[in-house]
Amino acid sequence: MKIGQNSGVAIAGAGFSGATVARRLAEAGYRVTVFESRDHVAGNCHTVRDAQTGVMVHEYGPHIFHTNDRAVWDFVSRFTRFETYRHTVVANAGGHTYALPINLGTINQLFKRNFSPAEAKAHLDTLTHACEMPENFEEQALALMGEEIYRTFFEGYTRKQWGCDPTHLPASILKRMPLRFDYNCRYFSHQYEGMPRDGYTALIETMLDHPNIEVVLNTAFSATDAVRWDHVFWTGPIDRFFDYRLGRLGYRTLDFERIYGEGDVQGCAVMNYCDADVPWTRITEHKHFAPWETHKNSVLFREYSRAAGPDDIPFYPIRLVREQDMLRQYVDLAQATSGVTFLGRLGTYRYLDMDVSVREAMDTAEQFLLTQVRDTPL
Ligand code: UDP
């Protein structure tokens, strides 16, 4: 089938993935209709000013844009001014506060020592459990950092976050976080890091603001409508596209409890609560995401993680063995579905950072453009 300038491309979902494909195709001359089931764009990156305090709030939890990918950074920077923002996280464990990721300061504070980098490494070597091929989160943690660091910072938090024993989780989850032997307390190590000045929703709105793009809010794209379009890009849950015919893939969802305070309540953007007996995983004080703004009052979110029910917003794909098997079957179905491309965190059921979603969406759009025979030259 030939697709020309006026042909219809539908995109299900107005998060980073959907918006990136929409923009790229619109700029290449395609007419694009983006369907979004919620009443706002930007998916789980959605930001909105809190009515009481005026603080820009990350409605679905903290989102920090960071990447090493220059093309991704240049692309997203076309649609917002990024303010300098360097994310740090404080870990609250056993009645003390520490720097996270684990760095030399964390190690020295926990072991009440004054190690140099080499001494700290040598000390951890005496504590770690040798394991050539760690097969799960716990084995990976014990092999990297030993019992005390693992029990203090990771075991309780991970149980709360993922709702299962860390031995049931893949080692790859821990690989997201570095272990440092210097005093660097930046959470991310990427070259480019920043916060969109007017929030993520404004960024995505600007990305979608193009004469060839129509955005339809409050409207879930129905998979049965896919045949009516020349091509569909589906960024919703892959299992929903197939009406859950093989079962539901597991997700964690988050609940947020809003708290108000005056001035600076916790002194940082994100404080993780690592102890198993504290029911929340972390508290986010949103004003710290916009250090260039001044606000007298403060709004904080206590964040709780639980298994997602059918009507809950999916956040983290669980990807345990049951899900891996089911996912493989859904991916087979997806590959056999012509005219539909599945992408993004939900569309591929992967734990993707924003920059990776954008990169994959850029590549997906390029691939699509390359494989189309154009009716009408631009
Ligand atoms: N983690 C932990 N304690 C912490 C922070 C993270 O145990 O204080 C674990 C947890 O299992 C988490 C993983 O490390 O899922 C990766 O951390 P990251 O900050 O990348 O998780 P995110 O907040 O993006 O889910």
Ligand 1: which of 89, 97, 154, 357 to mutate, judged by most atoms within 8 Å of the beta carbon?
A: 154
**What is the predicted pLDDT for the residue at 6?**
40
The residue with greater pLDDT, 175 or 53, is 53
CA–centroid distance, residue 274 to ligand 1 (Å): 10
Q: Residue 168, Cβ neighbours under 10 Å: how many? A: 14
Q: What share of the chain is helix, strand, coil (3-state, %, to 5)?
A: 35, 20, 40
Residue 83 confidence (pLDDT) above 90: yes
Q: Does the annotation count 282 as an active-site position?
A: yes
Mean pLDDT of 190-200: 98
ipTM of the complex: 0.96
Residue 2 confidence (pLDDT) above 80: no
Kindly state the DSSP code that residue 152 receives in the 8-state scheme. Answer: I
CA–centroid distance, residue 281 to ligand 1 (Å): 10
Domains of the chain in sequence order? 8-86+193-250+311-371 (3.40.50.720), 103-175 (no CATH)
Which residues' Cβ are closer than 6 Å to ligand 1?
Answer: 91, 100, 153-154, 157-158, 161, 173-174, 176-177, 272, 274
CA–centroid distance, residue 295 to ligand 1 (Å): 29
**What is the predicted pLDDT for the residue at 7?**
56
pLDDT band at 130 (very low <50, low <70, confident <90, very high): confident
Closest residue by Cα to atom 14, ligand 1, is 174
Q: Does the annotation count 353 as an active-site position?
A: yes
Residue 9 confidence (pLDDT) above 60: yes
Please say whether the beta carbons of 332 and 298 come within 8 A.
no
CA distance readout (Å), 246 to 93, 253, 308, 343: 41, 21, 17, 19
Q: Does the annotation count 258 as an active-site position?
A: no
CA distance readout (Å), 62 to 68, 152, 274, 345: 20, 23, 17, 16
Amino acid occupying residue 81: R
Ligand 1: which of 169, 176, 252 to mutate, judged by most atoms within 8 Å of the beta carbon?
A: 176
